[in-house]
Homo-oligomer: A and B are copies of this chain.
Amino acid sequence: MNTLAEENYLKSIYHLSFDAETVSTNQIAALLNTKAASVSDMLKKLADKELVNYAKYQGASLTPAGKKIAVSIIRKHRLWEYFLVEKLNFKWDEVHDMAEEMEHISSTELIDRLDKFMGYPRRDPHGDPIPDSNGNFKNHKLAPVATVKVNASCVISGVSDHSPIFLQYLEKHKLTIGKTINVIDVIEYDNSMIIQTEDNKIHISRDVANNLLII
């Protein structure tokens, strides 16, 4: 149906569309580790296939057809990540690259059966919502810990950086999905924070506070 490259472009545009109406060539290039020239070529092709809306120099957005494909890839990615963690006992920092390959297995029957096999999980190991077989899911934006006021409590619900190094850091400090934390203090100088977790009190940098998401 669509090539692996096309699927990856659609997925990238979808993820980038979370913040902005329209997505720029350079944003896509940065996310996919390609060059802007390559992105221009691909946007032309995807526009021909009516999977993206694209006007030269004006950025791109997904058409409904393109969005549908993007969501189906994301569904597959997250279900495979869940499988790898829950059934094969991988850690949450180990599964992303494997899922990047597995999300391109084409059969939707396969992914629907996998979904059933696992009991229709709602969220992947990183707290991200899993679209159902119709592509429906709530994708509400979570707030970073950085926005929490002193003395307020909240529950860790996601991450905006999925890199192994960050996930390992969180794991080490037991800052995992579902844990409740309380903000003790914010150091104004560098915006770092002292937080009380269920397990201990720790000092997190501004970067960590920005990439750790809460409800």
- Once the chains bind, are A114 and B101 in contact (CB under 8 Å)? no
CB-defined contacts of A117 to chain B, threshold 8 Å: 87-88
Given contacts A101-B105, A101-B106, 15 further A-B contacts (CB under 8 A): A84-B110, A87-B117, A88-B110, A88-B113, A88-B114, A88-B117, A89-B113, A90-B113, A98-B105, A98-B107, A98-B110, A101-B104, A101-B107, A102-B102, A102-B105
CB-defined contacts of A101 to chain B, threshold 8 Å: 104-107
Binding site for B on A (CB under 8 A): 84, 87-90, 98, 101-102, 104-107, 110, 113-114, 117
CB distance from A3 to the nearest CB of B (A): 12
Copies of this chain, whole number: 2
CB distance from A91 to the nearest CB of B (A): 12
CB distance from A169 to the nearest CB of B (A): 22
CB distance from A8 to the nearest CB of B (A): 15
The answer for the CA separation of A88 and B111 in the assembled complex, in Å, is 10
CB distance from A155 to the nearest CB of B (A): 30
The answer for the CA separation of A113 and B117 in the assembled complex, in Å, is 17
The answer for the CA separation of A26 and B89 in the assembled complex, in Å, is 44
The answer for the CA separation of A113 and B90 in the assembled complex, in Å, is 9
The answer for the CA separation of A101 and B88 in the assembled complex, in Å, is 20
The answer for the CA separation of A105 and B106 in the assembled complex, in Å, is 13
CB-defined contacts of A105 to chain B, threshold 8 Å: 98, 101-102
17 contacts between A and B (CB under 8 A): A84-B110, A87-B117, A88-B110, A88-B113, A88-B114, A88-B117, A89-B113, A90-B113, A98-B105, A98-B107, A98-B110, A101-B104, A101-B105, A101-B106, A101-B107, A102-B102, A102-B105
CB distance from A113 to the nearest CB of B (A): 4
The answer for the CA separation of A117 and B87 in the assembled complex, in Å, is 7
The answer for the CA separation of A117 and B88 in the assembled complex, in Å, is 7
